[in-house]
């Protein structure tokens, strides 16, 4: 039995609140249970310096947690003066995941940055970020289409993400913090709306895991991501 009484294949309550950031070109407050991430898309009229003159655009992401998003306060990365390895890993993952479903040449010489700021963290902040960031990105692209900056959408598919784990020997979907900190194996899956894999990241925290366990987690993730994509469709519908 999971601490949250959820079934092994049951996600937490998920919601998307669009347009929460008044000044952003697209935004979404995404909730996976008690995890809350504010995703805001910002359009810039030029690509990053290393991409100038190549006729392509770029989509990138930044990720941060408010100091008291968590059980105990953590120091701000602005005051430590360093972006931690964990933060960099996560923002690189979000960026890659989004770019997998964007037609970058069609975007033209522009950059869209998605800021994912975790207001509250109860596990799964990176998967919630990816799932919510897609909404913010999509609304930003719509904003551009409405203003004729783009003729039509440059988004090729949905993208969403969910975590799985082996907890007390059983595979489980969408871990919250209580489960995550006790999981033997922790995995994150990113998939497109059509079911293609974008990222698979599995780590043994204790004992190694087997191929069978990897496949069980993958099956759970597929179910979870189907649900998330359906909810994204409803949210933008």
Site membership for its own copies, residue 27 (CB under 8 A): yes
121 Cβ partners below 8 Å, 6+ apart? 35, 65, 69, 70, 177
| Closest by Cα among 219, 210, 188, 208 to 123 | 188
Quickly list DSSP for 81-131.
TS--HHHHHHHHHHHHHHHTTB-HHHH-S-EEEEEEEEEE-SS-HHHHHHH
Site membership for its own copies, residue 200 (CB under 8 A): yes
- For its own copies, which stretch binds (CB under 8 A), given 19-27, 125-133, 143-151, 228-236? 19-27
User: Which CB sits closer to its own copies, 54 or 88?
Assistant: 88
List the interface residues with its own copies, window 151-180 (CB under 8 A). none
Give least dist CB 87 to its own copies, A: 8
Q: How far apart are CA 28 and CA 39, in angstroms?
A: 5
Q: x/- site string to its own copies, residues 46 to 85, per CB under 8 A?
A: ----------------x-x-xxxxxxxx--xxxxxxxxxx
Number of residues that bind its own copies (CB under 8 A): 63
Site membership for its own copies, residue 226 (CB under 8 A): no
Give least dist CB 142 to its own copies, A: 17
* Phi and psi, residue 179, nearest 5°: -75, -45
DSSP letter (8 states) at residue 49? G
Q: How far apart are CA 25 and CA 40, in angstroms?
A: 8
Q: Are 174 and 162 in contact (CB under 8 A)?
A: yes
Cβ atoms within 10 Å, residue 114: 30
Site membership for its own copies, residue 204 (CB under 8 A): yes
User: Which CB sits closer to its own copies, 115 or 174?
Assistant: 115
DSSP letter (8 states) at residue 140? H
Site membership for its own copies, residue 104 (CB under 8 A): no
- Determine which residue in the list 40, 102, 228, 235 makes contact with its own copies, applying CB under 8 A: 40
- Residue ranges that bind its own copies, judged by CB under 8 A: 21-24, 27, 34, 38, 40, 42, 44, 62, 64, 66-73, 76-85, 87-89, 91-92, 96, 100, 113, 115, 117, 119-120, 187, 191-192, 194, 196-204, 207-211, 213-214, 218
């Amino acid at each position: 039995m999971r601490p949250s009484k959820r079934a092994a294949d049951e996600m937490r309550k998920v919601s998307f609140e669009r347009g929460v950031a008044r000044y952003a070109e697209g935004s979404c407050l995404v909730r996976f249970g008690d995890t809350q991430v504010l995703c805001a898309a910002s359009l810039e009229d030029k690509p990053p310096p290393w991409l100038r003159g190549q006729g392509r655009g770029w989509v990138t992401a930044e990720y941060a947690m408010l100091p008291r998003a968590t059980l105990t306060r953590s120091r701000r990365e602005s005051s430590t003066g360093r972006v931690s390895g964990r933060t960099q890993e996560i923002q690189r993952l979000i960026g890659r995941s989004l770019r997998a479903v964007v037609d970058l040449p069609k975007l033209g010489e522009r950059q869209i940055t998605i800021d994912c700021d975790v207001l509250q963290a109860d596990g799964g902040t990176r998967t919630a970020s990816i799932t919510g960031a897609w909404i913010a990105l999509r609304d930003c692209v719509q904003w551009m289409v409405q203003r004729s900056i783009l003729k039509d959408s440059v988004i090729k598919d949905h993208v969403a993400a969910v975590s799985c784990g082996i907890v007390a020997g059983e595979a489980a979907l969408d871990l919250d913090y209580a489960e995550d900190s006790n999981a033997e194996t922790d995995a994150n899956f990113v998939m497109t709306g059509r079911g293609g894999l974008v990222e698979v990241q599995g780590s043994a925290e204790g004992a190694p895991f087997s191929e069978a366990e990897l496949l069980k987690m993958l099956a759970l993730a597929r179910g979870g991501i189907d649900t998330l994509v359906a909810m994204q469709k409803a949210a933008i519908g």
